[in-house]
Structure 1
Amino acid sequence: MISHYSEPAVASIGAANQLLNLMVFVYGFITIGTQIIIAQYIGANKLRDIKHVIHTALFGSFTIGMMISIVFFFFSKSLLTFMNLNEELIQIGNSYLQIFGGSLIISALSAVIIAILRTHGHTKPALLIPMTASILSVIGNYFVLYQPFGLPSFGVSGLAYSSVFGNMIGLIISVALLKRYIGFSIFSFRFRKISFPILKAILMYGLPSSGETLSYQGAQVVVTMIVASLGASVLIAKSYISAITQFVYLIASALSQGNQIMVGRDVGAGEFERAYNRGMRTTIIGASASLIICLITFIFIEPIMGIFTSNPEVIHIAKEVFLVEIVLETTRSINMILVGSLNASGDVKFPLICSLLVLWVISLPFSYSLAIWAGFGLVGVWIAYAIDEALRSILMIRRWRSRIWESKSLVQQTTTLDEVSV
C-alpha cells in the first residue's frame, strides 16, 4: 500500500521499522523469559507459581515498554538521522516513528499476554490478538492513504495512527482472553504480588535468549545504514525484499515457536530424550519447508515484485538477492528452531555468544566489504547474511547434539521459583 502511495515513503518507513523491530526485542526479553519459565513449570506440574510469574511479567513489560515509548517520542528525528538517511526521508519518517514508537508500551503488554496464552496451549485465541490488530491497521491504512469518500489524506502519519488504533484494540482483546482462558484479571494486579526472585529468573533466561535476536536486529540497523549509502533504489529494494522474506520464513518461524513450547514442557517434565528427538525432527521439517518455499519464490520473484513496483532496477536487484536467499533461509530455519530449543531448555548463553561473535566479527565486516568494496551492493549484504546463518547453524547443530543443555533446566536446579537466584 505504501509503495503505491510513495516510494520514498517505502525507504523511510523501512528504515524506521528497523529501529522499531530492534525495540521489540528489547522488551522481548520479558516475553521470552516468561515463556521459558511458564513452559517448564507446566511440564513440571508446578502450577501454583504461574500467577506470580504473570504479575511479574506484566510489571516488567509495562516498565520497559514505557521507557522505550518515551525514547521514541522525544528522540525520533535523532534516531532517523543516526540511520544515515537524507533529509527528505527523515522528514517523511519522523512523525511515523514518533507516533508508532511512542505507542510501543501497548505492544509490550500485548506481547507478554500472547506469550502467556501460547505457553498454556491457547494458540488459536492468541492468534486473534495480532490478527485483529493487523486487519484494523490495514483498513485504517486504506482510509488514510487513498482518501475514500472524499476524506483528507493523512499520509505517513496516518499509517502510524491506524497501527496504534489496531494495537490498542488488540490489547483490549488480549486482556479479555487472559481473563477467560488463564483466569487472570488485569484488574486484580497488585504490586505486592510482584516477585523479585521471579524477576531475576525472567532476566536470567530472557536477557540472553532475547539478546541473540536483539544482536541480530542491531546488526540489521547497521546493515541498513550501509545500504542507505548505496542510494534510494537499493534501500527501497531492501524494504520490499525484507517484506517478502517475512512470508518465506513464516513456516519455520511457526515451527520454531510451537517447538519451543513443547521442548520446554518436555524439559520441565524431565523427558530429555523426547525433547532431543523433537528438536531434531522439527529442524529437518523446517529446513525442508524453507528450501521448497525459497525455490518457488525465486522462480516467481518477478511477478511477486510486480505487486510492489514496476521499477526494473529494483526488480533486477531482487532477482539476484533471492538466488542467495535459497541458502540463507534454509540455514536460518535451522537456527530459528534450534536456538528456540536451546532457549526452552535453559541453555540461553551459548546462542547469544555465537550470535555476538559471528554477527559482529564476521557478518558485518563481510556485509561492508562485499557491498561497498567489492561492489556487489545488496547482493553482497545477502551473501554475508548467508555466511552468518550457515556458520551459526553448524554451531547450533553441534550444541544440540552435545546434549549439554540437559543440565541447564530451571526446574532441575530449583524446587520453586522463590528459590531462584542469579
Structure 2
Amino acid sequence: MKKKNAAAVKIGGFLERQFGSSMFTSKEFFKILGPVILDQFFVYFISMVTVSMVSASSQDSVSAVSLVNPIIFLAMALFGAVASGGTVVVAQYKGKNDPEKVRQAAGQATLATFIVALIVGLCCFFFAEPIISWLFGSAEAAVKGKCVEFLSGMGISMIPFAFYSAAFAALRGVGASKTCLWLTIMINVVHFLLSILLLNILHLDIWGTVLSYILARFIGGMIALYLLMTKRGIMQVRVRDILKVNPKLMITIARMGVPVAMEQAFYNGGNIIVQSYLVQLGGIAVAANAIASSAFSLIYACGFAVSTVSLTIVGQCIGAGEVALARRYGSRMEWLGNTICTLSVVILMPLMPLLLSLYAPQPETLPTIYQVMWIGCAFMPFVWSGANVMPNTLRAAGDATYTSVTSLVCMWAVRVFSGYALAIWCGLGIYGVWISMGLEWLVKTVAFRIRFRGDAWCSKKVVE
C-alpha cells in the first residue's frame, strides 16, 4: 500500500512539474484536457461506426461519402474557422478576466458563424450536381448519383450545425470542457441511434445517413444555443450580444478566423484534388482509402484533443500576459501530443482486425487498408504533433497568418503535388498518397518548430 502511495506521489509530482504553473495546477490542466480527449475519441469512434454502417450498406455508398467528404470538410471549415477565431478571442478575454467581453465575443462569433454557414450550406444544396460533375465526372454513374444526394443533404445540415459549432468554440475558450463533452456525447448518440434506425432498420442507404445528420445537428444546435444563453450557464450570452453587430469584435474575430478559413479552404481543396486522382486508381483504391482514413482517424483522435486544448491554455496565458508560460505550455503540448499518438498506435493497431470487420470490406481491399495504415503509423509518433498541435499553439497567440500560409504551402507542395507524382507518375498508387501525407507532416513540423523558437509568434496583439 505504501509503495502504491509513493508511486502515486511521484507521478503526481512529475505531472505538476510538467503541467502545473501559476495559472493552472496539473489537476486543472487535466480537468480541461480529460473531457476533450473523451470528446474527440467519442466523435471519431461514432464517425467510424457510422461510416462502417454505410460501408456495409453498399460499397458505392462508402465511395460516395469518401469522395464528397473533402467538399463537406471544405464548406464546414469556412464557418468552423470563424468559430475557432471566436475561441481565441474568448480565451484571451477570459485570461484578462473580462466576463463582459467574453459574452460579447461569444455572441458575435455565433452571428458570424451562422451567416457563413448559411451561405456555404445553401451553395452545397443548390450546386451539388455541377460540383460533382466537375470534380468526379469519371466516377461510375451510381457513385456520382449518391455523391449529389449526400452533398445536397449535408448542405442543409450545416445551417443548424453553425449554432453548435459557435457555442462549442466559445465554451472551449473559457475551458468548459465538461459541458463540451456532454454536448458531444448528446449529438453523437442521437446521430448514432438515428443511423441505426435509418440505415440498418429502414435501409434508406445514403439518405439515411443524410437525415441522421440533419436531425442530430438540429437538436444539437438548439441545445448548444440554449447552454450558451441560459442565465444559469457559464457564458450567459444575451440576445443583443448575438444580434447587435459589434464592428470592433467582428474585425478581431475575422483577423483570427479569416486566415484559418483561407487555409482550410485551400487545404481541403487540395484534398479534393487528391480524391480526384484517387478516382483514376479505380473503385478498390477509393474504397480502401475511405475505410483506412476512417479507421485511422481513431488513432489520432486523442492527439487532436491536445491540439484543441492548446488553443484554450496558450490563449489564456497570452491574455494574462504570461508569454513565457505560453511558450512552456506550447512545448509541453507538442510532447504530450506525440506521446498520446504513440500510445494510440500501440493500443489500437492490434485491435484493427476487429474494428475493420465493422466495415465489412471486400476481401481484395483489406491488405491495402492495413498497408496504408501502417505507413501513417510510421510517421505519427515523430511528426504528427508538430504538424497538428504546434500550429494551434501559434494561433492561440494570434499568429494566424503564418500558420495558415505555411500549412497551405506544405499541403500543395507536398501532399498534392508530391502525392500525384508518387501515386501516378511513380506508379505507387494509394501508397504514394499516404507517403505524401507523412512527408507533409514532417515538413510542417520543421517549419512550425523554427517559428516557435523565435519571438515573432508571441508578439501579436489580438485583444486590447
Name the CA distance, whole Å, in 1 between partners of 2:233 and 2:297. Answer: 30
Post-superposition shift, 1:189?
5.3
**1:121 aligns to 2:175 (yes or no):** yes
Please tell me the residue identity of whatever aligns with 2:130: S
Please tell me the residue identity of whatever aligns with 1:138: F
Q: Structure 2 length normalisation: TM-score?
A: 0.84
**1:397 aligns to 2:435 (yes or no):** no
SS of the equivalent of 2:312 reads: helix
**1:109 aligns to 2:163 (yes or no):** yes
**1:312 aligns to 2:368 (yes or no):** no
Q: Which of 345, 368, 382 is matched with 2:420 structurally?
A: 368
Aligned pair in 2 of structure 1 residues 186, 313: CA closer, same or farther (>3 Å)?
farther
Post-superposition shift, 1:362?
2.9
Post-superposition shift, 1:12?
0.5
SS of the equivalent of 1:257 reads: helix
Name the CA distance, whole Å, in 2 between partners of 1:397 and 1:335. Answer: 9
Name the CA distance, whole Å, in 2 between partners of 1:372 and 1:117. Answer: 45
Provide Cα deviations, 1:228-285, integer angstroms capped at 9, x if missing partner: 1111111111111111122111111001111220100001111111111111111112
Question: Any gaps of 5 or more consecutive residues in structure 2?
Answer: 1-52
* C-alpha contact (below 8 Å) 1:117/1:123 kept by paired residues: yes
Q: Which of 198, 212, 218 is matched with 2:269 structurally?
A: 218
Please tell me the residue identity of whatever aligns with 2:192: V
Provide Cα deviations, 1:278-316, integer angstroms capped at 9, x if missing partner: 111111121122123224444454443223134232111
Name the CA distance, whole Å, in 1 between partners of 2:155 and 2:297. Answer: 21
Counting only pairs closer than 5 Å after superposition, residues 283-302 of structure 1 correspond to structure 2 as: 283-302=334-353
* C-alpha contact (below 8 Å) 1:216/1:359 kept by paired residues: yes
**Which region of structure 1 is more displaced relative to structure 2, 229-238 or 86-95?**
86-95
Match of 2:249? Answer: 198
* C-alpha contact (below 8 Å) 1:126/1:174 kept by paired residues: no
**1:16 aligns to 2:68 (yes or no):** yes
**Which region of structure 1 is more displaced relative to structure 2, 330-339 or 43-52?**
43-52
Name the CA distance, whole Å, in 2 between partners of 1:297 and 1:322. Answer: 11
Match of 1:418? Answer: none
Please tell me the residue identity of whatever aligns with 1:20: I
* C-alpha contact (below 8 Å) 2:71/2:272 kept by paired residues: yes
**1:337 aligns to 2:393 (yes or no):** no
* C-alpha contact (below 8 Å) 2:63/2:286 kept by paired residues: yes
Name the CA distance, whole Å, in 1 between partners of 2:106 and 2:339. Answer: 36
Please tell me the residue identity of whatever aligns with 1:36: V
**Which region of structure 1 is more displaced relative to structure 2, 259-268 or 355-364?**
355-364
* C-alpha contact (below 8 Å) 1:129/1:171 kept by paired residues: no
Match of 2:17? Answer: none
Name the CA distance, whole Å, in 2 between partners of 1:39 and 1:119. Answer: 4
* C-alpha contact (below 8 Å) 2:85/2:253 kept by paired residues: yes
Please tell me the residue identity of whatever aligns with 1:177: L
Counting only pairs closer than 5 Å after superposition, residues 86-97 of structure 1 correspond to structure 2 as: 86-97=140-151
Match of 1:359? Answer: 411
Match of 2:328? Answer: 277
Name the CA distance, whole Å, in 2 between partners of 1:110 and 1:305. Answer: 30
Post-superposition shift, 1:90?
1.4
Q: Structure 1 length normalisation: TM-score?
A: 0.92
Q: Which of 133, 140, 156 is matched with 2:206 structurally?
A: 156
Name the CA distance, whole Å, in 1 between partners of 2:397 and 2:242. Answer: 30
SS of the equivalent of 1:36 reads: helix
SS of the equivalent of 1:128 reads: helix
RMSD: 1.8
SS of the equivalent of 2:148 reads: helix
Name the CA distance, whole Å, in 2 between partners of 1:183 and 1:354. Answer: 34
Please tell me the residue identity of whatever aligns with 2:205: G
Aligned pair in 2 of structure 1 residues 186, 239: CA closer, same or farther (>3 Å)?
farther
Post-superposition shift, 1:374?
1.2
Name the CA distance, whole Å, in 1 between partners of 2:277 and 2:346. Answer: 28
Name the CA distance, whole Å, in 1 between partners of 2:351 and 2:304. Answer: 22
**1:256 aligns to 2:268 (yes or no):** no
**Which region of structure 1 is more displaced relative to structure 2, 179-188 or 132-141?**
179-188
Aligned pair in 2 of structure 1 residues 296, 185: CA closer, same or farther (>3 Å)?
closer
Post-superposition shift, 1:185?
5.2
Match of 2:225? Answer: 175
Please tell me the residue identity of whatever aligns with 1:21: F
Post-superposition shift, 1:215?
3.1
Name the CA distance, whole Å, in 2 between partners of 1:233 and 1:295. Answer: 28
Name the CA distance, whole Å, in 1 between partners of 2:241 and 2:410. Answer: 42
Name the CA distance, whole Å, in 2 between partners of 1:190 and 1:314. Answer: 49
Name the CA distance, whole Å, in 1 between partners of 2:117 and 2:368. Answer: 37
Name the CA distance, whole Å, in 2 between partners of 1:55 and 1:28. Answer: 15
Match of 1:420? Answer: none
Identity of aligned residues (%): 23
**Which region of structure 1 is more displaced relative to structure 2, 280-289 or 210-219?**
210-219
Aligned pair in 2 of structure 1 residues 352, 188: CA closer, same or farther (>3 Å)?
closer
* C-alpha contact (below 8 Å) 1:175/1:185 kept by paired residues: no
Match of 2:78? Answer: 26
Question: Any gaps of 5 or more consecutive residues in structure 1?
Answer: 416-422
SS of the equivalent of 2:236 reads: coil
Name the CA distance, whole Å, in 2 between partners of 1:58 and 1:65. Answer: 10
